[in-house]
Amino acid sequence: MKTCLVTGGAGFIGSNLTERLLERGDRVKVLDNFSSGKRANLDGLSERFPEQLQILDGDIRDFALVTAAMDGVDYVFHQAAVPSVPRSIRDPLTSNNVNIQGTLQVFLAARDAGACRVVFASSSSVYGESPTLPKREDFTPLPISPYALTKWVGEEYARLVHKIYDLEVVSLRYFNVFGPRQDPKSEYAAVIPRFIDKLLTGTSPTIFGDGEQSRDFTFVDNVVEANLRAADAPCVGGQVFNVACGERYTLNELVMKLNQVLGTSLAATHAAPRDGDIKHSLADITSAKARLCYSPSVGFMEGLARTAKWFAEYGPR
């Protein structure tokens, strides 16, 4: 039985990952300050796996706490972050402190504890405005927001920590993840849960810009699988991999398909584009397929249907 630490484990991706780890029989420590993560995401897991799950309430900027959390840990899945581009523009200091300082502390604590490997959650936002599609890991990052910059710095620390201290750290660049447990109510909510919530309540969703911007939307189960494979793949320390589906849809297409899935017929309204938003995003996942044996098992439409069903049954209004 492995012991895993999931930072940010009460969040959207972190709680889905925690559930999968518990289901396969691992012991899991969740470290979360619940600033954006929700205790409700873990309530059912605590009941189902009382002997396997330990929840630690704390911040990754507290090095003593992170060090204590690492005791006995084999694998670290570092999901904790201040995750929003708009928020990072409004408050770059907090994004910097959490996403850079906090991330380095997680890496160093894992090194000191003798952890086997750390899987670091990075972001496709590091590519910035580079017009070339699809995005490959060997492209020079051109971040256009503080959030994107913090994720690139995290990747560079991962590379250096591996090179200098021989700690196995693998970075995964997530592309527009969506699925159950994603919060639609936050000011910084991602587009799919926000649109679903609007449509379910009879309100037109708002698109910032003309709606022709495109994204490589990736269902959360695919991201969880990529994390598990990144933890076990041989000879990938210090490397970066795209995690996506390798196909893109515009936001106008997204609204149309969500109307189909939900049985609604509401048109979107449009507002001015937001600072820091990129125009197009599409991943080349060749490297992840070859080195991690990763392949997305849930396609876009199936993921939308599963997400819409979950929000219709359990999601907040």
Question: How would you write the pLDDT of the chain (317 residues) with one tens digit per residue?
Answer: 899 999 999 999 999 999 999 999 999 999 999 999 999 999 999 999 999 999 999 999 999 999 999 999 999 999 999 998 999 999 999 999 999 999 999 999 999 999 999 999 999 999 998 889 999 999 999 999 999 999 999 999 999 999 999 999 999 999 999 999 998 877 656 899 999 999 999 999 999 999 999 999 999 999 999 999 999 999 999 999 999 999 999 999 999 999 999 999 999 999 999 887 888 999 999 999 999 999 999 999 999 999 999 998 886 54
- Considering 147, 157, 174, 249, which one is annotated as catalytic? 147
Q: Are 121 and 13 in contact (CB under 8 A)?
A: yes
Provide Rg for the chain, Cα atoms.
19
Selected from 3.40.50.300, 3.40.50.720, 3.10.310.70, 3.30.70.2860, the CATH number assigned to the domain covering 3-178+218-246+283-297 reads 3.40.50.720
Q: Which amino acid is at 69?
A: A
Strand partners, 55: 30
- Tokens standing for residue 34: 């619940």
Give the pTM: 0.95
Whether 147 is a known active-site residue: answer yes
**Alpha-carbon 78 to chain mean position:** 10
Residues 6+ apart with CB under 8 A from 279: 129, 213, 214
